[in-house]
Amino acid sequence: MRLGDLRRSETFPDLWTECDVTRPESLGKAMKGVGAVINLAAEHRDDVRPVSRYHEVNVEGARQVCLAADDADVEKIVFTSSVAVYGFQPKPVDEEGPFEPFNEYGKTKLEAEGVYRAWAAEDGARTLVIVRPTVVFGEGNRGNVYNLLHQIATGKFLMVGAGKNVKSMAYVGNVAAFLAHVLTMGPGVHIYNYVDGPDMDTASLVEHSRRCLGRGGKTPRIPKAVAMAGGHLLDVAARVSGRKFPISAIRVRKFCESTQFRAERAAQTGFVPPYTLAEGLARTIQSEFPAK
């Protein structure tokens, strides 16, 4: 999305700033008198059209943030990038890569990192922190984990494949706390993956969520090949009709891939997550799917 929105929360109780990274005038107002900027704005869905919007928001938006920071004499920027810059990797990777983004979101996030690096290189007094969270879930988040929980809660979930693929995840409350933590960093460029461990395989995640949601019985399953074929058919239907469908080939692939990342560097900063992964899942389920 275009709006960078930093709302009142337990982590940032006294801040409320909303702006559009594609509108320089709104950025100037938001940065007036501040000591640091946290940029969470992004075009992130995998079905955005036109595709040029990824570049407009993620890359050109980064340039506008840097220009506005120059005008406001802001010397500290925290940028939320993404583990999408690594693409699909056969084993967990750390902050050094390799970098093989497979979609426009990941490609433009990596390009935006370069924009911010160039900004930091212009002045040795500047501080740049790049945080690459894995898939984020939590109260109010309507991403992939919410969709999974909603399907389980409504009895519409089908397990694709055996579910042995392992997923790194991050609870939004911990991510917000980490962003506040890195505001203490000094001059230079600091890069961190963010993951809440221990990682779970998809089958374990589904069964844990079913227990929390009070769903009994066995999880229905469908072979991966069948799901991929259905995803490709819906991709064709989407292109022909102009409609957006909740299932696509890339979403099936993302669901079935192992996506693990190393985040020891974040732990080495002394950061202690306020919640465990299990607590984050429980809080999310209690908030989004309260018992009736």
pLDDT tens digits, one per residue of 111-161: 999 999 999 999 999 999 999 999 999 998 888 889 889 999 998 888 998
CA dist., res. 133 & res. 83, Å (int): 6
- Per domain, the residue ranges of the chain are 3-288
Report angle CA 62, 66, 67 to the nearest 5 degrees.
115
Q: Order the strands of the 188-194 sheet from edge to edge.
A: 37-39, 76-80, 127-133, 188-194
Q: What is the pLDDT of residues 41-77, one digit of tens each?
A: 887 776 777 888 989 999 999 999 999 999 999 999 9
pLDDT at 1: 31
Comparison of pLDDT for 195 and 258, the residue scoring more: 195
Amino acid at 170: A
Token pair of 114, please?
A: 């370069």
Query: CA 268: distance to chain centroid?
Result: 22
More confident: 139 or 245? 139
Mean pLDDT of all residues belonging to the chain: 88
**Distance in angstroms (rounded) separating the CA atoms of residues 150 and 31:** 38
pLDDT at 9 over 50: no
Helix (H) or strand (E) holding 17: strand 17-20
* Catalytic annotation, residues: 105
Distance CA 68, CA 37 (A): 10
Angle between helical axes of 224-241 and 249-256 (0-180°, round to 10): 150
Domain at 3-288, CATH homologous superfamily: NAD(P)-binding Rossmann-like Domain (3.40.50.720)
At residue 219 the predicted structure's pLDDT band, cuts being 50, 70 and 90, is: confident
Q: 84 exposed, middle or buried (CB, 10 Å; 0-12, 13-18, 19+)? A: buried
Residue 254: what pLDDT?
Answer: 80
